Structure 1
Amino acid sequence: MADMEKDDREERGYRGGRDRDDRDDRGGKDDDEKGGRRSFHRKKVCRFCADNEYIMDYKDARQMQQFVMDLGKIVPRRISGTCAFHQRKVTTAVKRARNLALIGFITSGPQDGYSSR
């Protein structure tokens, strides 16, 4: 009797569980179904380590603005690509530039319509 049930399952296309051929390890679909393009992630290189002539100066407001987000937060290492050593220097340089009013603490105002009275 067990052999008959096994034969019935094979005829119906039963494989003994879910069909996981179209999914990767995390449960998402393969890249092949999206058109065959795979994204290539290049490792970010610290611009200060790569180019020794690129000098960090807290008096250069344009350069300091590159390391500050729209709301005034300092851009983290994982986004800017700087190494830990130079990220600490960037942080102190941005804070010095803020204290000297070369760059603002908050570069843009609130977007929800509130205003100070």
Structure 2
Amino acid sequence: MKRFKKDTPAYFDYKDAKTLLRYVNAYGQIEPVSKTGLPAKQQRQLAVAIKRARHLALMPFVTR
């Protein structure tokens, strides 16, 4: 069983862009499970939160 990082929030809020940016690479792509170390359920919640934040213009779609 994999253990995830201790500083991982229990819930990913789409309004907290600062936290979500830790799980996005330099190009704006969502990091894979192998890098985040999150369980599958939390990885899906993270992806939904990032997509909502992007849609509401709280986060950029692409970063260069």
Compute the TM-score of the two structures, normalised by the length of structure 1: 0.48
- Which of structures 1 and 2 has the bigger CA Rg? 1
What is the CA deviation profile of residues 70-94 of structure 1, one whole-angstrom value per residue up to 9, with x for unaligned ones? 1011000000100001000000000
Q: How many residues align?
A: 64
- Structure 1: gaps spanning 5 or more residues: 1-42, 109-117
When residues 106 and 44 of structure 1 are mapped into structure 2, their CA distance, relative to the original with a 3 A threshold, is farther
Tell me which protein shows more helix as a share of its residues.
Answer: 2
1:86 aligns with 2:42: yes
- Structure 2: gaps spanning 5 or more residues: none
Q: Which position in structure 1 is the counterpart of 2:31?
A: 75
Return the offset for 1:67.
Answer: 1.0
Q: How does 1:6-45 map to 2 (within 5 A)?
A: 45=3
Give the Cα separation in 2 of the matches to 1:80 and 1:71: 16
Among 45, 52, 56, the alignment partner of 2:12 is: 56
Q: List 4+ stretches of structure 1 deviating above 4 A.
A: 50-53
What is the CA deviation profile of residues 7-48 of structure 1, one whole-angstrom value per residue up to 9, with x for unaligned ones? xxxxxxxxxxxxxxxxxxxxxxxxxxxxxxxxxxxx85224x
Identity %: 39
